[in-house]
Amino acid sequence: MIQRMMSTASSENVSVSMHDDGIAVVSLDIKNSKVNTLGKALLTELPPILETLENVDDPHVKSVIFISAKKNNFIAGADINIFDEIAVQGKDAIKKQVCQLTQGFFDRMEKGKVKIAAIDGSCLGGGAEFALACHYRIASVNPSTAIGFPEVMLGLLPGAGGTQRLPKLIGVQGLTQDATKLLQCALATARLLNKDLNFTSKTGEMKLPKRGELPWMSAYFEDGIKSYSFLRDFYFGQARKMALKQTNGNYPAPIKIIEVLEGSIAKNALGKDQGYEMEADAFAELALTKESSGLRSLFFGQTSVKKNPFSGAMDVKKVGVLGAGLMGSGIAEVTIAKGVPVVLKDVSAKGLSVGETNIQKSMQDKVKKKRMTSFEKDVTMSRLIGVHNDMPSWKDHIKQCDLVVEAVFEDLSLKHKIVEEMESICKPDCIIATNTSSLPVSEIAKFSSRPHNIVGMHYFSPVPKMQLLEIIPHETTDEKVIATAVQLGLKQGKLPIVCKDVPGFFVNRCLGPYIDESMVLAFEVDDILKLDKALKKFGFPVGPMVLADEVGVDVAFHLHNNLIQDLGVRMSGANIEAMKAIKAAGIKGKRFGCGFLVYPPKKASGLAALNPFASKPSPTPNPVALEAMKPFMKPGKA
């Protein structure tokens, strides 16, 4: 009978296997796709399969375990392409075809036999909601394993019951935890060391806690929020303040999530039909906002650049990084973090030590935040080989590299010397990448004996946090070199864009005039922090003054001098005298403790000495933001 049940249960994208211990293993594997998504295939094929498993009278069928046949992926999320097709039909269509369909399916999943999500890899959005509908979640100890709700960054909220199930699982108070704590402390009932996830042999041995049990303190707090309106008003009022502080009001989803939670709890509807209805209403409203439309468009753009359009990429087994400063150590860090060994070279032992210490501190910070274990940190650091000029063996290490990135100061003659030296040391097919921010790559390759192997790879500071990577080929760069640079960038977790070898490339062609205009405005307002706040309100993650400090005021000044020669009138609005005064004062930026802002240990504050000409009252935020944005937008249209 079990064999007959198996043959009727399996389908094109879902297969079922029975084990002697009474566990039905359901394997998810959407054909012709690198990842599983919660789209038409799964939502069509899974319900009848689960119905068959639930209706089996054989007492040996005790539970169902969901696994994925995909590498490093459980369910990546909902199919956004299908969602956009539904969105044009209006709010009711979104509620019915997106929310109510999945809510109903997950509601049926919760009932009947025990269901376990065996998660190895990404479990995001709709995938995380699928896991929430299971009775237990078991996660592998795999760096790729992540459970979360990134749809919030698409201007949406979890619309398949996530806003109702998550609070019941971890408590309303637990919603303020970061994603890593949610994974380790709440969403994952247990974590297994073996990456192969042999759940059938392990599940019976585990003592799984009762579902929905909260520690007594959390339970006491939950009861208070549900019972007393004044406590509920205070808690959700604070939650709104936190959300607005983090998003500057530019992301509508967090506020909507708070409204749904507050309304569900106030009406005693959490996890009930009325709560699900409130969630569906909010989801549909968000889906039709211009913010969500824009964020989804951005998502599609980011997805497209994650595909390498160039062919012939070489396998990069070891990377060399020249210069152990802020940029060099950052490039080395993101490379070793993805499993690629790095030779980090500096001219001196002292410089190398600073770079290695920066990487070590960054890794240790991840351990403290439980984003990696101490063992994983040690394994990652073991991929780093530090060398300097006084070590006789440094050339032997560089010879082994397939790609070398130079991350030294923006000086053309210095870069010429480095290219010449590397070509005399490296193997003939080694790619030499320059992390220039403004110098023409063609000029750097001008005196090269192998110009076809030279390409620009412009990272942004701080490298571990900034996703964008500009790939800049010059006229004679081989396609396989471009392909390899893009492939390495993707492996490092970057979003690589291929730019023309023109002044400023793409980003600085826009950013240079923007920062110049911001510097002019900085001398016209009574508090430069107001200028930064205005631009953050406009939508930037940081304001122009903080950005200049992060990049380095000295670097920004050097960039200005390079760009003004090529962009001419586009860079003519800068307050040159003010910039010269800043340079003469020795103001260099955040890494030196003082830039446009001073950086005491706890909080940044405006440096009044840099604003001696402030005589006008501070303008309102929006005019300042728009004024600073004008030179930023013009080059983007050109």
- Catalytic site positions: 470
CA–CA dist 377, 358 (Å, integer): 14
Cβ neighbours of 306 (radius 10 Å): 12
DSSP H or E run through 385: strand 384-388
The secondary structure of 567-599 as a DSSP string is: HGGGGTTS-HHHHHHHHHTT--BGGGTBSSEE-
CA–CA dist 428, 330 (Å, integer): 27
User: Residues near 122 by Cβ (< 8 Å), separated by ≥ 6?
Assistant: 35, 72, 73, 74, 75, 76, 144, 145, 146
Q: What would the two tokens of residue 265 be?
A: 């709890």
Sheet with 14-18, edge to edge strand ranges: 14-18, 23-28, 63-68, 114-119, 136-140, 190-192
CA–CA dist 535, 538 (Å, integer): 5
Q: Which of 552, 470, 482 is nearest to 510 (CA)?
A: 470
- Report helix, strand or coil for 24: strand
CA dihedral (591, 389, 456, 481) positive or negative = negative
- Report helix, strand or coil for 504: coil
Q: Which of 475, 436, 438 is nearest to 456 (CA)?
A: 436
DSSP summary character for residue 390: T
CA angle 588, 591, 594 (to 5 degrees): 50
CA–CA dist 79, 46 (Å, integer): 16
Sheet with 319-322, edge to edge strand ranges: 384-388, 342-346, 319-322, 403-406, 431-434, 454-459, 468-473, 495-498
Q: Are 631 and 514 in contact (CB under 8 A)?
A: yes
Q: Are 64 and 248 in contact (CB under 8 A)?
A: no
CA–CA dist 496, 307 (Å, integer): 9
DSSP β-bridge partners for residue 598: 594, 605
Strands (E), 121-264: 122-124, 136-140, 146-148, 190-192
DSSP summary character for residue 38: B
Angle (deg, nearest 10), helices 544-551 and 553-567: 100
Q: Which of 109, 130, 137 is nearest to 197 (CA)?
A: 137
